[in-house]
């Protein structure tokens, strides 16, 4: 197909047919499951006397409910223990590959699939989790789906979907010191809004994204959903192939050369037609932090909380709600806001490069009195690699806790939770009310480096001031 985007090409290659509803029946090449959205799906299969059509195309792990301090079984939380047992039993019954705790490969689902080479360009990928768009960093089309859709993929290896429009998000230029991939995506969401991507796939393009490593690209694509987009992707290139080569499930030998040639053909054509194109200048982005109750309510760290009249009319009611909930007043600098908890981890920022950047800033410094700070590797492999590099020792010496892999404080489904009105500086992806475990808890999203800056100062701090004085 000429003048086609990668999205168009992958969609057409995986189209089984058109349903009576007008939707596309789309073949799903890789299905990732975990303990939260799969038990009900397996129960629905049994109710209908159905099996798993292609068990070899489904991979499971446990992440959301996993304790990150003691992982001794049975878990203290009886519901969490029931959920992991259900996943163990379902995977055994239906012949599904399962990366359990202690396997050496367990971790957050959107961390383990890329690090093992399961995620590859040109794939269609589905998972019962909102942040499945992470895998788009490889040039895959990846969708977060609901429980009934998990059932559909298990039973038929297909989904019924409406085809999306494609918006090209083009960013060029180099990022300034102290600005990371997390700041890039928070800036994009801030500028476009949390609803702008509804009905779209986002193609991230331009020299800024081309200069990013794969883990940075995953951070960007991970949060496409927070801007309303059903998926986000980056065209595969030499960076993609270098990351994948030699990984567990990557093609080997002559198959590798054929795969790279095929992946190259899937890239968006130079004259591809987009439904919309928006341009950004990387040099304009500063370290970014959210101040409100959606990922779109963000500001540069050296800015003040916006006044209502500075916002579009439709955004003002939510801003007023956010002022009250967050105990932040318009016109007040975000720098200096006291923090209680500092969390580094999640499927957005729990990879090895994230921990390396955080450790650079933590080295020679110490967590401020009264602040609880902890680091949660995204997978058992990340933890092993980080410890081999001595990163855990840097964090421990600086007063951070070093935990076992899991989703942790990204969401309130495990013991890592805020209490009361605690305020969290978090490298995760959502700052909704109650997201981190307390119905009154408050979350400020930022990069891992910004989390370290907040932890050692005891309040929101411009990371650039610490970079200038890094020991």
Compute the distance between CA of residue 163 and CA of residue 160 in angstroms, rounded to an integer.
10
Q: What is the 3 state secondary structure string of 150-207?
A: HHHHHHHCEEEECCCEEEEEEEECCCCCCCCHHHHHHHHHHHHCCCCCCCEEEEEECH
* Dihedral sign for Cα atoms in the order 159, 162, 163, 169: negative
The annotation places the binding site at 347, 407, 410
> What gap in Å lies between CA 58 and CA 127, rounded to an integer?
10
What residue has token string 């002559």?
254
Residues β-bridged to residue 143:
126
Please report, in range form, the residues annotated as the binding site for [4Fe-4S] cluster: 347, 407, 410
Cβ-contact 143, 162 below 8 angstroms = no
Q: Report whether 375 contacts 416 (CB < 8 A).
A: no
Q: Please, are residues 324 and 226 in contact by the beta-carbon 8 Å criterion? A: no
Return the residue matching tokens 């591809």: 272
C-beta separation of 65 from 36 below 8 A: yes
DSSP run (H or E) holding 401 = strand 401-402
Residue 392 is classified by DSSP as: H
Per this entry, what is the length of the chain? Answer: 471
What 3-state DSSP class applies to 106?
coil
Of 317, 389, 327, 322, residue with least CA distance to 353: 389
CA distances to 50, 105, 137, 335, 421 from 433, in Å: 39, 32, 29, 21, 11
Which residues in 245-358 belong to E strands, given as ranges? 276-281, 288-290, 298-300, 341-344
Cis before 360? omega within 30: no
Expressed in angstroms, the distance from the first to the final Cα of the chain is 54
DSSP string, 254-274: HHHHHHHHHHHHHSPPTT---
Q: Say if residues 188 and 227 touch (Cβ distance below 8 Å).
A: yes
Beta bridge partners of 425: 342, 444
Q: Tokens for 289?
A: 């932090």
Dihedral over alpha carbons 342, 133, 192, 188 (to 10 degrees): 50
Q: Which two tokens stand for residue 297?
A: 């309510």
């Amino acid at each position: 197909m000429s003048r086609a985007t990668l999205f168009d090409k992958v969609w057409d290659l995986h189209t089984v047919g058109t349903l009576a509803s007008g939707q596309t029946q789309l073949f799903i090449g890789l299905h990732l499951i975990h303990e939260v959205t799969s038990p009900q799906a397996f129960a629905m299969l049994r109710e209908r006397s159905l099996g798993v059509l292609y068990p070899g195309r489904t991979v499971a792990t446990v992440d959301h409910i996993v304790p990150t301090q003691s992982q001794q079984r049975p878990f203290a939380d009886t519901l969490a223990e029931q959920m992991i047992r259900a996943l163990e039993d379902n995977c055994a019954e239906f012949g599904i590959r399962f990366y359990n705790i202690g396997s050496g490969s367990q971790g957050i689902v959107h961390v383990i699939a890329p690090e093992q080479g399961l995620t590859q360009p040109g794939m269609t990928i589905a998972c019962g989790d909102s942040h499945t768009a992470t895998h788009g960093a490889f040039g895959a089309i990846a969708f977060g789906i609901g429980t009934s859709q998990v059932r559909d993929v298990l039973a038929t290896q297909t989904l019924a979907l409406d085809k999306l429009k494609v918006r090209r998000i083009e960013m060029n230029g180099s990022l300034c010191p102290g600005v990371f991939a997390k700041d890039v995506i928070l800036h994009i969401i801030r500028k476009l809004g949390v609803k702008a991507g509804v009905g779209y796939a986002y193609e991230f393009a331009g020299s800024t994204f081309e200069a990013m490593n794969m883990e940075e690209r995953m951070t960007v694509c991970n949060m496409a959903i927070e801007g309303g987009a059903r998926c986000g992707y980056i065209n595969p290139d030499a960076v993609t192939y270098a990351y994948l080569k030699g990984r567990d499930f990557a093609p080997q030998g002559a198959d590798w050369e054929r795969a790279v040639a095929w992946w190259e053909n899937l890239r968006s054509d130079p004259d591809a037609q987009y439904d919309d194109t928006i341009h950004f200048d990387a040099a304009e982005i500063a370290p970014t932090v959210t101040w409100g109750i959606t990922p779109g309510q963000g500001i540069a760290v050296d800015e003040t909380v916006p006044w209502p009249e500075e916002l579009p009319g439709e955004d003002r009611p939510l801003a007023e709600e956010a002022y009250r909930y967050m105990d932040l007043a318009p016109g007040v600098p975000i720098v200096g806001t006291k923090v209680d908890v500092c969390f580094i981890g999640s499927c957005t920022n729990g990879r090895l490069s994230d921990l390396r950047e955080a450790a650079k800033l933590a080295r020679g410094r110490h967590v401020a009195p009264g602040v609880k700070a902890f680091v949660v590797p995204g997978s058992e492999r990340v933890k092993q690699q980080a410890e081999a590099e001595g990163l855990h020792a840097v964090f421990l010496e600086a007063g951070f806790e070093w935990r076992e892999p899991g989703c942790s404080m990204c969401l309130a489904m495990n013991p890592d939770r805020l209490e009361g009105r605690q305020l969290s500086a978090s490298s995760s992806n959502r700052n909704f009310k109650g997201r981190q475990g307390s119905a009154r808890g408050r979350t400020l999203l930022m990069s891992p480096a910004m989390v370290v800056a907040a932890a050692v100062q005891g309040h929101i701090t411009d990371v650039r001031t610490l970079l200038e004085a890094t020991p």
